[in-house]
């Protein structure tokens, strides 16, 4: 994700294997939980390189191969919309940047190229990232900040992503859908 040439190669490989490229889900992501006064430049850049820059390089590569009617869905985070309970400056900044990138690419590509670009901002789900947080601490935080008071189920996120990737959302572009159990509305 951090090498534009690798992203180009991946897009070309998808076209070679399937004959076309209709949908890109930008889902690669990393995170840190380092207090901002202790976070090293390489740690901050590493998160930005994958979460924001990598999404940009992959979107560029995919858009070059995509036909009108295609869709890009960027996976942002609820932490682009609300504050975190942990020190996550790099992660929050990268995911906020991804929402801005979504809006800009939508403006550039939706009318001119026929490619819709949207984002999903997931709340807290069972994932590799949340698996590193002590379960009781995570559940308490979600209970206190989410309207639904629970972790999300993967299928709940999948449905939003599938909606944005499909023709069911043919009149939706530049949008960010929060799939966060009401956390951003708190």
- The total number of structural domains in the chain stands at 1
Of 56, 85, 91, 171, the catalytic one is: 91
Per-residue pLDDT of the chain (186 residues; tens, 9 = 90+): 899 999 999 999 999 999 999 999 999 888 888 889 999 999 999 999 999 999 999 999 999 999 999 999 999 999 999 887 778 899 999 999 999 999 999 999 999 999 999 999 999 988 877 788 888 888 888 888 899 999 999 999 999 999 999 999 999 999 999 999 999 986
pLDDT of residue 116: 98
pLDDT of residue 182: 94
Report which of 113, 93, 140, 122 is spatially closest to residue 181, judged by C-alpha positions.
122
Containing structural domain, residue 155 = 4-185
pTM of the predicted model, to two decimals? 0.93
Report which of 178, 180, 176 is spatially closest to residue 72, judged by C-alpha positions.
176
* DSSP assignments along 134-149, one per residue: -HHHHHHHHHHH-SS-
Is 171 an annotated catalytic residue?
Answer: no
| CATH number, domain containing residue 116 | 3.40.50.720
pLDDT of residue 186: 65
Report which of 21, 35, 36, 102 is spatially closest to residue 68, judged by C-alpha positions.
21
Say how far residue 140 (Cα) sits from the centre of its chain. Answer: 25
């Amino acid at each position: 994700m951090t090498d534009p040439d690798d992203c180009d190669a991946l897009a070309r490989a998808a076209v070679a294997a399937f004959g076309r490229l209709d949908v890109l889900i930008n889902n690669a992501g990393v995170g840190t939980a380092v207090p901002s006064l202790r976070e090293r430049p390489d740690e901050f850049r590493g998160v930005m390189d994958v979460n924001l820059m990598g999404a940009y390089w992959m979107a560029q590569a995919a858009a070059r191969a995509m036909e009108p009617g295609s869709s890009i869905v960027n996976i942002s985070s609820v932490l682009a919309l609300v504050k975190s309970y942990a020190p996550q400056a790099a992660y929050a900044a990268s995911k906020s940047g991804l929402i801005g990138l979504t809006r800009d690419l939508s403006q550039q590509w939706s009318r001119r190229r026929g490619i819709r670009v949207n984002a999903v901002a997931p709340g807290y789900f069972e994932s590799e990232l949340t698996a590193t947080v002590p379960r009781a601490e995570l559940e308490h935080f979600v209970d206190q900040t989410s309207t639904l008071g629970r972790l999300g189920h993967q299928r709940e996120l999948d449905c939003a992503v599938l909606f944005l990737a499909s023709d069911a959302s043919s009149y939706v572009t530049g949008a960010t859908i929060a799939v966060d159990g009401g956390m951003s509305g708190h």
